[in-house]
Amino acid sequence: MKKILESDCHLAEQDSSTNVLDSQCPFCSVQCTMKLLEKTASERKQYKVVPTQNSTSNGRLCIKGLNAHQHAFHAERLLHPLLKVNGKFVRVTWNEALEFIKENFFNIHKKYGYDSIGVYGSGSLTNEEAYLLGKFARVALKTKYIDYNGRFCMSAAASAMNDAFGMDRGLTNMITEIPSTSCMILAGTNIAECQPTIWPYFYQAKKNGAFIIAIDPRETATSKLANLHLKVKPGTDAALANGFLKVIFEEGYVDQVFVDKKTTGFSELKAHMNQIQLEEIAALTEIPVEKMRLAARQFAVAPTGMIFTARGVEQQTNGYLTVRNFINLVLVTGKIGKFGCGFGAITGQANGQGGREHGQKADQLPGYRSIVHPEHRKYIAKVWGIDEKDLPGKGVSAYEMMQKIAKKEILGLFVMGSNPVMSSPNSLFVEKALKSLKCLIVVDSFLSETAQLADLVLPTSTYLEDEGTMTNFEGRVTWRPANKTPPNEVKHDWQILCEIAKVLGKGSYFSFSSPEEIFQELRLASKGGKADYYGITYDRLKIERVYWPCPSFQHPGKGRLFEQSFAHSDGKARLKVVENEYPKESRSENYPLYLTTGRVLPHYLTGVQTRRSPALAARFTEAYIEIHPKTAKKYKIEPNVLVKIESARGSAVARSKYSLKIREDTVFVPFHWAQKQNINQVTADDLDPVCKMPGFKVCAVRIRPLVNLEKVYKEV
């Protein structure tokens, strides 16, 4: 991690031959800021990245941010539209590309109706582009089928927070309160590797005396900081939270004044607790009762406390209920809406937060409005200047779109900012489905694994070129400047959407000439909604990051939520009875191990960008399987050999990495590598019934060495 240095800044200002570009990291939800210094020396360009100050990451940058420009300047950047002709991509002009879209979309519409084309968006898009994509789907394509990669990321936490609090924002409190909290539960979150520049806030809390509890089947850089690490059996976190609740009820730690005044559902939860047996939970989670008691007591008696969840507990087929149960813990102990207390589901992608507020979701309209609510529909139809009756209804979730493609109900797909052939569960099924489409159009900066399957690929700008706003994990809106001109024929996502809308005859609804103009419409569209951005302007954002909701220009933005009341109409939060659910897929004789998947520090998601950053790629060149030495011996797997990982869906290959830090019944594989190393060829596609999140974090597998070394040794 790099911290801002005085000398770095001076270098930027003093050297007049240096081009200085202000920017913001394209990767995770912290949105660290930086200056890119570009110097031309004997016809070669040299780059240096200098972190800059902002009130979230405080002048820090992690290794991904420091090297992000390497992919932006990579030789494989797409520079013009590519059309597939006889199985090969050929260069075409923008006019030819737009004609192709017009003709193909027109034919599909005519023959199969508007809902036969789907749109697949992304949490990497700016707020302006995410907003425009939602409008594009509903107004230009008139389809109900739009969803985005955030479905695989934030859907469990978002739906749980909406239902429990009446509002979904990553952190309910300000990040600056973290060092003052006296107890923290970190459930299925690896902040030290996934949001490294905010880790110092947690470190400071520990230094100030906080008791930290980490829940993770593996020891990670995050769990290292914990006073208590609960190495839970994968997928059993909902039950573990029931264990904590049981102790809190049994030992009289409920904050009854808070509960009576600010929540509903207490008597049902209390009755449910009478049926909970700690021993049963200990057997299920493999966490001893005494450790559960210690964790629950520490959290309950601490004067202030916070709970953070992330994908470890959320990417489960019961992810929604699991998050609800951690929220139950915060509510029964009254630890929310106060200084040093709160709940946070740490968002993942650069715009994981904003991307889920402005209409990319199947059931959603801008400002967190609902597509099935008559008043919400009327309001947005008015902003867009269309008849409410012409606004399509609710579509389906990201993976369900793939299922509709396989069933030939969706025949054309427009993908902007995602690589679903790698990031979806059961990816072999997804690959087959995408190949069966009549028309696949992908907008990307690279020929990603999904773009390779496309009929038409449109080249888009990167973070250094594309101005816009992003809403970070805190719920603060940030402005990303971008002064670099896109190379060759590259266009911005928002320009591409406007140009396609024009050839489809809908240009008048998309006559924008800058991101700021789109933001002006977004502000209006969000006005009065839960995620209200009306009071936020580019001018304000150029000075400071602003929290939403921010309903007027004078409003400072709301850092701490729920101080007086929750966002449901009666002002109360909802407690919820959660059963000790088991993961959908359990181990069997045939598939005796749990596979869990996740990330490593230098790589980002499906790796399209970071695998093209030499400094990052060099740190992890291939997929690995973290495995306990005892387990490895059992399956005759030596260190550093290729391992075949198989499930009922398919197989993948990764190199063995012995580790005492993982449970003996579990293996871990990061998902940043493609083709044979793509671990999503193995994962299961059961979805959470409420939020449709896949269970990326648990599936049953068997493993074996790819090559029989004993045989090879004998032969040599």
List residues near ligand SF4 by CB under 6 A. Answer: 25, 27-28, 30-32, 57, 61-62, 64-65, 195-197
Report the alpha-carbon angle 318-321-325, nearest 5: 135
Q: Which is nearer to ligand MGD, 27 or 533 (CB)?
A: 27
Which DSSP category does 28 fall into? Answer: B
**Site for ligand MGD, residues 596 to 625, rule: CB under 6 A:** 596-599, 601, 603-606, 608-609
Least separation in angstroms between residue 66's CB and ligand SF4 is 7
Q: Which residues pair with 669 in a beta bridge?
A: 597
Residues 6+ apart with CB under 8 A from 155: 319, 397, 688, 691, 692, 693
Least separation in angstroms between residue 30's CB and ligand SF4 is 4
Distance in angstroms between the alpha carbons of the first and the last residue of the chain: 46
Q: Which residues pair with 20 in a beta bridge?
A: 37
> Of the listed pieces 147-155, 236-244, 414-422, 514-522, which binds Mo ion according to CB under 5 A?
147-155
Instruction: Name the residue among 219, 154, 146, 209 with its Cα closest to residue 183.
Output: 209
> Of the listed pieces 96-104, 330-338, 481-489, 591-599, which binds ligand MGD according to CB under 6 A?
591-599
Residue 426 contact among ligand SF4, Mo ion, ligand MGD, none, beta carbon within 5 to 8 Å by kind: none
- Per the rule left: phi > 0, alpha: psi between -120 and 50, beta: everything else, 557 is left
Q: Which residues pair with 82 in a beta bridge?
A: 91, 457
Residue written as tokens 């110097």? Answer: 39
Q: Alpha helices, DSSP H only, in 264-337?
A: 266-275, 278-285, 289-301, 311-314, 319-332
Judge whether 424 and 397 are in contact, CB under 8 Å: no
Q: Is 348 in the site for Mo ion (CB under 5 A)?
A: yes
Least separation in angstroms between residue 672's CB and ligand SF4 is 13
Residue 418 contact among ligand SF4, ligand MGD, Mo ion, none, beta carbon within 5 to 8 Å by kind: ligand MGD
> Of the listed pieces 29-37, 38-46, 347-355, 443-451, which binds Mo ion according to CB under 5 A?
347-355
Q: Which is nearer to ligand MGD, 258 or 343 (CB)?
A: 343
Q: Which is nearer to Mo ion, 102 or 599 (CB)?
A: 599
Least separation in angstroms between residue 24's CB and ligand SF4 is 8
Least separation in angstroms between residue 398's CB and ligand MGD is 9
The shares of helix, strand and coil residues in the chain, as percent rounded to the nearest 5, are 35, 20, 45
CA dist 226 and 228 (Å) reads: 5
Least separation in angstroms between residue 251's CB and Mo ion is 37
Q: Which is nearer to ligand MGD, 152 or 566 (CB)?
A: 152
Least separation in angstroms between residue 651's CB and ligand SF4 is 31
Residues in the chain: 716
**Site for ligand MGD, residues 210 to 229, rule: CB under 6 A:** 215-218, 220
CA dist 373 and 67 (Å) reads: 45
Q: Is 419 in the site for ligand MGD (CB under 6 A)?
A: yes
Number of residues lying near ligand MGD (CB under 6 A): 64
Q: Which of 152, 211, 494, 547 binds ligand MGD (CB under 6 A)?
A: 152
Q: Which of 153, 157, 273, 616 binds Mo ion (CB under 5 A)?
A: 153
Q: Which is nearer to ligand MGD, 220 or 328 (CB)?
A: 220
Least separation in angstroms between residue 607's CB and ligand MGD is 7
CA dist 586 and 698 (Å) reads: 9
Least separation in angstroms between residue 192's CB and ligand SF4 is 11
Q: Which is nearer to ligand MGD, 331 or 350 (CB)?
A: 350
Least separation in angstroms between residue 389's CB and ligand MGD is 31
Query: Alpha carbon 378 to chain centroid distance?
Result: 30
* Residue 659 tokens, joined: 């580790």
Q: How far is CA 501 from CA 99, 112, 136, 137, in A?
A: 12, 20, 7, 10
Q: Is 686 in the site for ligand MGD (CB under 6 A)?
A: no
Burial class from Cβ neighbours inside 10 Å (0-12, 13-18, 19+) for residue 126 reads buried
Residue 197 contact among ligand MGD, Mo ion, ligand SF4, none, beta carbon within 5 to 8 Å by kind: ligand SF4
Burial class from Cβ neighbours inside 10 Å (0-12, 13-18, 19+) for residue 226 reads buried
Q: Is 698 helix (H, G, I), strand (E, B) or coil?
A: coil
Instruction: Name the residue among 83, 38, 43, 715 with its Cα closest to residue 459.
Output: 83
Burial 360-394 (b: 16+ CB within 10 A, else e): bbbebbbbbbbbeeeebbebbbebbebeeeebbee
Residue 417 contact among ligand MGD, Mo ion, ligand SF4, none, beta carbon within 5 to 8 Å by kind: ligand MGD
**Site for ligand MGD, residues 454 to 483, rule: CB under 6 A:** 460
> Helices 237-250 and 319-332, interaxial angle, to 10°?
20
Pattern 695-714, binding to ligand MGD, x per CB under 6 A? Answer: -xxx----------------
Q: Which is nearer to Mo ion, 153 or 313 (CB)?
A: 153
Pattern 85-114, binding to ligand MGD, x per CB under 6 A? Answer: ------------------------------
Residue 220 contact among ligand SF4, ligand MGD, Mo ion, none, beta carbon within 5 to 8 Å by kind: ligand MGD
**Site for ligand MGD, residues 231 to 250, rule: CB under 6 A:** 232, 234-235, 237
Residue 512 contact among ligand MGD, Mo ion, ligand SF4, none, beta carbon within 5 to 8 Å by kind: none
* Identity of the amino acid at 600: V
CA dist 602 and 600 (Å) reads: 6
Sheet containing 18-24: give its strands across. Answer: 18-24, 33-41, 44-51
> Of the listed pieces 113-121, 343-351, 429-437, 688-696, which binds Mo ion according to CB under 5 A?
343-351
Residues that bind ligand MGD (CB under 6 A): 28, 122-125, 149, 152-153, 187-190, 193-195, 215-218, 220, 232, 234-235, 237, 310-313, 315, 348-349, 416-420, 422-423, 443-446, 448, 460, 493, 596-599, 601, 603-606, 608-609, 668, 671, 679-680, 683, 696-698
Residues that bind Mo ion (CB under 5 A): 153, 348
